[in-house]
Amino acid sequence: MLLNVDGVECRYGSVKVLDDVSLSVKGGDFVGILGPNGSGKTTLLKSISRILKPHKGTILLNEADIYSLKSTDVAKQLAVVPQDTSIGFNFAALDIVLMGRNPHMKRFQMESEKDMAVARKVMNLTNIWHLAERPINELSGGEKQRVIIARALAQEPKILLLDEPLTHLDIVNQLEIMDLVKDLCVKEKLVVLAVFHDFNLAARYCNSAVMLKKGKIFSAGSLTEVLTSENIKSVFNVDAIVTKHLVTNSVFVIPLSPQKSSPSKKCSIHLICGAGTGTALMKVLLDEGYSVTAGVLNVLDTDFETAQFLKIPVTTEAPFSPITVKTHKANLAMISEASTVVLTSVPFGGGNLQNLEAALAAVKMGIPTFVIEEVPIERRDFTGGKAKALLAELKSKGAEFVKDKNELLSLLNVSVEKLKIAKKERDRILDHLKPEEVPKKTKIRW
The single-letter code of the amino acid at 204 is R
Q: Report d(CA 320, CA 298) in Å as an integer.
A: 7
pLDDT at 339 (0 to 100): 86
Q: Report d(CA 355, CA 347) in Å as an integer.
A: 11
Which residues of the chain are in CATH 3.40.50.720 domains?
A: 268-409
- Chunked in runs of 10, what are the mean pLDDT values of the chain (446 residues)? 90 91 92 93 93 92 91 91 76 92 80 89 91 90 87 93 83 86 89 92 92 94 91 89 73 73 69 89 86 89 86 89 91 90 91 92 89 89 91 90 87 67 54 53 46
Determine contact, residues 402/371, Cβ cutoff 8 Å.
Answer: yes
Strands (E), 206-304: 208-213, 216-221, 240-244, 251-255, 268-272, 291-298
Residue 35's nearest CA partner among 270, 171, 172, 194 is 194
pLDDT at 159 (0 to 100): 93
Residues in the chain: 446
pLDDT at 435 (0 to 100): 55
Which superfamily, per CATH, for 268-409?
A: NAD(P)-binding Rossmann-like Domain (3.40.50.720)
Angle at CA 300, nearest 5°, toward 298 and 301?
Answer: 60
**What fold does the segment set 3-243 form as a domain?**
Rossmann fold (3.40.50)
Which residues of the chain are in CATH 3.40.50.300 domains?
A: 3-243
Q: Which residues contact 378 (CB under 8 A, 6 or more apart)?
A: 388
